[in-house]
């Protein structure tokens, strides 16, 4: 890995603009060195732009934290935040957006499933074409387990039926946002976040770029079937238009109610012991 030098910009014009990359990381010790290597390749392609990388260690159980510390000691353009436990990808994204100082912020997976080579094109779209957001979507679901595709499609059908904001099927979390869009996201009071919904909610002129699904460079998906199911329910819950009568029910209560409803449906006259 190439160490960045503080003298590399000596005698060259000062770069005025900053692009931040916010990278949520859970058990990404193996993938992170490859990620930084790819970013090192992108930096010369954007000579006018400074790049900072904000890594968020979301309570990893492997050597992610140690790997981040090593990377930061070698690369001055990389910083990290470390959570006390695993809070989930959405919390890590929020922390990254808060910490990022850039004129633009890109949210990216650490596993190279958000291909860094798309960054110059995405940046051109916000700089020259007047977009505030550039989203990415998979052109196909090739390579995805059929059960996951089935539930993903069902999820998009449900959410787009019950919500006035429309989610793009196949949209990835890989997104580039202007400072204006980032501030809009940060101004929202939501604690349980569903970023895909919030990106649509804030509006702004958005361009979509399609790309072929990419395999993880290392590691395994962090999503269990149940984890993905819960995430979908949270998405449907937070992005729907049904009035909540001023009460924001805790999601754990909602899971409890769902379980209770299922028990009543299956066993009839189920007595709640919840007090």
Residues forming contacts to ligand UDP in the complex (CB under 6 A) are 24-26, 28, 58, 86, 88-89, 92, 109-111, 113, 221-223
Q: How far is the CB of 90 from ligand UDP (least distance, A)?
A: 8
Q: Which residue lies nearer to ligand UDP by CB, 76 or 221? A: 221
Which two structure tokens, joined as six digits, stand for 170? 């196949």
Residues constituting the chain: 275
Shortest separation between residue 221's beta carbon and Mg ion, angstroms? 7
Cβ closest to ligand UDP, residue 29 vs residue 134: 29
> Please, is 235 exposed, middle or buried when counting C-beta atoms within 10 Å of its C-beta (0-12, 13-18, 19+)?
buried
What is the Cα–Cα distance from 159 to 171, expressed in whole angstroms? 14
Strands (DSSP E) contained in the chain are 17-25, 49-57, 78-82, 104-107, 133-138, 171-178, 206-211
- The Cα-based distances of 133 to 115, 124, 129, 176, 255 in angstroms read 17, 11, 11, 6, 33
In sequence order, the 6+-apart residues with CB closer than 8 A to the CB of 151 are 228, 229, 232
Task: Give the interface segment with Mg ion, choosing from 107-115, 207-215, 230-238, 248-256 (CB under 5 A).
Answer: 107-115
* Surface-to-core class of residue 178, CB atoms within 10 Å of its CB (0-12 exposed, 13-18 middle, 19+ buried): buried
Tell me how far apart the alpha carbons of residues 38 and 31 are, in angstroms, rounded to a whole number.
Answer: 11
Query: Each residue of 145-176: b (16+ CB within 10 Å) or e?
Result: eeeeeeebeebbeebeeebebebbebbbbbbb
Q: How far is the CB of 28 from ligand UDP (least distance, A)?
A: 5
Return the number of the residue (103 or 111) whose C-beta is nearest Mg ion.
111
Query: What's the DSSP call for residue 2?
Result: P
User: Could you tell me which stretch among 102-110, 149-157, 205-213, 237-245 binds Mg ion (CB under 5 A)?
Assistant: 102-110
Work out what residue 86 binds among Mg ion, ligand UDP, none; the CB cut-off runs from 5 to 8 Å by kind. ligand UDP
Task: Write down the least CB distance from residue 269 to ligand UDP, Å.
Answer: 38
CB of 9 to Mg ion, least distance (A): 33
Choice between 87 and 270, CB closer to ligand UDP:
87
Scan residues 113-132 and list those touching Mg ion (CB under 5 A). Answer: 113
Site membership for Mg ion, residue 52 (CB under 5 A): no
Two tokens at 54?
A: 């904000």
Is position 111 an interface residue for Mg ion (rule: CB under 5 A)?
yes
Q: Which is nearer to ligand UDP, 110 or 185 (CB)?
A: 110
Nearest-CA neighbor of 177 among 115, 113, 112, 93? 93
Among 52, 90, 109, 173, binds Mg ion (CB under 5 A): 109
Smallest gap, in angstroms, from Cβ of residue 270 to ligand UDP? Answer: 32
Q: Which does 116 bind (CB under 5 to 8 A by kind): Mg ion, ligand UDP, none?
A: none
* Nearest distance from C-beta of residue 21 to Mg ion, angstroms: 15
Partner that binds at residue 195, options Mg ion, ligand UDP, none, CB closer than 5 to 8 Å by kind = none
Instruction: Provide the angle, in degrees to the nearest 10, between the axes of the packed helices 89-99 and 179-186.
Output: 120
Give the residues lining the site for Mg ion (CB under 5 A).
109, 111, 113
């Amino acid at each position: 890995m190439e160490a960045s030098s503080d003298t590399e910009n000596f005698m060259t014009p000062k770069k005025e603009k900053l692009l931040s990359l916010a990278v949520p990381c859970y058990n990404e010790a193996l993938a992170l060195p490859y990620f930084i290597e790819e970013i090192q390749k992108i930096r010369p392609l954007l000579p006018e732009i400074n790049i900072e990388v904000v890594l968020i260690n979301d309570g990893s159980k492997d050597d992610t934290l140690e790997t981040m510390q090593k990377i930061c000691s070698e690369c001055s353009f990389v910083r990290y935040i470390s959570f006390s436990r695993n809070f989930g990808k959405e919390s890590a994204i929020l922390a990254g957006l808060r910490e990022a100082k850039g004129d633009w912020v890109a949210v990216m997976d650490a596993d190279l499933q958000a291909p860094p080579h798309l960054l110059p094109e995405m940046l051109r779209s916000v700089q020259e074409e007047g977009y505030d957001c550039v989203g990415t979507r998979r052109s196909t679901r090739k390579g995805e387990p059929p059960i996951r595709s089935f539930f993903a499609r069902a999820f998009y059908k449900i959410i787009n039926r019950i919500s006035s904001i429309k989610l793009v099927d196949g949209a990835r979390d890989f997104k580039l946002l202007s400072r204006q869009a980032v501030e809009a996201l940060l101004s929202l009071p939501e604690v349980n976040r569903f970023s895909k919904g919030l990106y649509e909610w804030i509006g702004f002129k958005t361009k979509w770029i399609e790309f072929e699904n990419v395999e993880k460079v290392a590691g395994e998906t962090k999503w269990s079937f149940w984890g993905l199911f819960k995430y979908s329910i949270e998405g449907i819950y937070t992005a729907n238009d049904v009035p909540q009568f001023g009460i924001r029910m805790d999601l754990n209560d909602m899971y409890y109610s769902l379980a209770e409803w299922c028990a009543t449906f299956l066993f009839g006259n189920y007595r709640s012991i919840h007090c």
